[in-house]
Structure 1
Amino acid sequence: MVDTATSMMDSLSKSIEDSPAPIYARVKQAICQKINSGEWQADQRVPSESEMVKALSVSRMTVNRALRELTDEGILVRQQGVGTFVAQKKAHSALFEVHNIADEIAARGHTHKAQLIEITRAKANMEEAMNLGVRTNHSIFRATILHFENELPIQIEERVVNASLAPDYDKQDFQLNTAYDYLMKVAPMTEGEHLVEAVIASPYECELLGINASEPCLQIKRRTWSKDKLVTTARLLSPGSRFQLFGHFGR
């Protein structure tokens, strides 16, 4: 019986295209094709450098560069002393648009769940008033929601909402309908802005997300308007290992 590594290498060698591109780039492309087609599954161990060098008749430097770049790009994961594996695909969100996180997760064929951590009605403090363009003591909602993808915590959503524009925000069932759903009904978004940063989560946030204290996180601070009214500000925090942003530029 042909072992798995040999079978994988036979298939890979047949996928390397004959083109003017450098050989390392063609090896990379062939590996990506195997992963994107689903032939090589997430968490599956890929053949070693030595196996690739022998089967593909290329130099170790060529294979090392291909694997190194694929690892840097998050397509492969290399575990010291264990081997190289196909990485889990990261969740991604649009960089230049605002989408419903539940829809993004569903589009990946996964299941979304939301857990309401806290929601209160309060009077805006100085910072909240400035961010929402209202007076201090204006009525607002503060909410924290934890989003899951296939039972894995993927994002903490901290949101401040102008209560005069979304008066029933605290009455929503966020498991059935996200904040995005409700806000788009009562105050449709016409404009938005966001700031993206790499940050380290607080101990409490690490506990909610189930991550180590040293893991970098992706933070998005966002404000959205409906016509000339600021409706909400939000802070979205996701583990860097589980989330990425994607943007498409036109010509």
Structure 2
Amino acid sequence: MVHNSNDRNGGESPPASLHQRILGDIEAHIFSGEWPPGYRIPFEHELTEQYGCSRMTVNKALTQLAKGGLIERKRRSGSFVAQPQSQAAVLEIHDIREEVQQLGLPYRYELLKMRKRKASASDRKRLDIDTDTLLLELSCRHFAGPRPFCLEERIINLGAVPEADGEDFRQVAPGPWLLDRVPWSNAEHSIRAVAADQETAGALAISEGSPCLVVERRTWNAGQPITHVRLTYSGDNHALIARFTPAQG
């Protein structure tokens, strides 16, 4: 999983070529779930008629999609949406510091809030735990240069990770701390777009109501819940890029 900051030069983008348009339309059908794995893509001659272009243009777009692992081309049968191997092949757990450094920007981390408390009813839904379980609740900000890059809101199950209770998390973010010390066997991701509320807007230095990309993740170790984290990124200059490959066999 990679979050990229996009440079904006204020100008209007040039109109997309037919090849780019076909590519974008098919990707949109796949990523939205409208065309699920195994769905047959329209035949080349059908796409040629739909877009009013040459067969070579259609073939170029389909070839690019096949190289990217989004579709599988079968001789005489046509093209089909590829089967992803698993969710783990689509999304990985990365250190936010590395994401920022990949952008060529200096990284800074800030702990906003930390407290130990008993799990609430909402925590039971988020982490699948009993209400009397002790949690460590943290709120942090990650910066790319002078600008807030990500707001991290996390709970850690102290029953599974008791040593977190003795860590102050002022020098090291909880994400890499957990990755270094606690093995995980399963992870679940949820991705959605939200409008920034007042608190989130203030933390990310954006206007209230601005679009944001939210990634929520739960991890377990041998069936025991470890942590739930909500990562919020400003949606105007970040994109989620996921790559997957067809299932074997």
Structure 2 length as normaliser, TM-score? 0.61
Q: How does 1:1-251 map to 2 (within 5 A)?
A: 42=7, 64-66=14-16, 96-172=91-167, 174=169, 176-251=171-246
Structure 1, unmatched stretches of 5+, are: 1-40, 49-62, 74-93
What is the one-letter code of the residue matched to 2:230? R
The answer on whether the counterparts of 2:137 and 2:155 sit within 8 Å (CA) in structure 1 is: yes
Structure 2, unmatched stretches of 5+, are: 1-5, 25-88
What is the one-letter code of the residue matched to 2:134? S
What is the one-letter code of the residue matched to 1:207? G
* 185 and 150 in structure 1: CA distance in 2 versus 1, 3 angstrom threshold: same
What is the one-letter code of the residue matched to 2:153? E
Q: Counterparts of 1:120 and 1:215 in 2: how far apart (Å)?
A: 29
CA distances 1:51-77 after superposition (whole Å, capped 9, x unpaired) = xxxxxxxxxxxx95249x89xx9xxxx
Q: Counterparts of 2:91 and 2:129 in 1: how far apart (Å)?
A: 26
What is the one-letter code of the residue matched to 1:139? L
What do you get for the CA RMSD once the two structures are aligned?
2.8
* 188 and 207 in structure 1: CA distance in 2 versus 1, 3 angstrom threshold: same
Aligned pairs, number = 173
Q: Counterparts of 1:102 and 1:247 in 2: how far apart (Å)?
A: 19
Structure 1 length as normaliser, TM-score? 0.61
Q: Counterparts of 2:207 and 2:233 in 1: how far apart (Å)?
A: 13
- 193-202 or 128-137, larger mean C-alpha shift: 128-137
Q: Counterparts of 2:163 and 2:107 in 1: how far apart (Å)?
A: 23
Could you say which structure has the greater relative contact order, defined with CA pairs below 8 angstroms and 6 or more residues apart? 2
The runs of 4+ residues in structure 1 deviating greater than 6 Å are none
C-alpha displacement at 1:250, in angstroms?
1.0
Q: Counterparts of 1:221 and 1:196 in 2: how far apart (Å)?
A: 6
Identity value in percent? 26
* 204 and 66 in structure 1: CA distance in 2 versus 1, 3 angstrom threshold: same
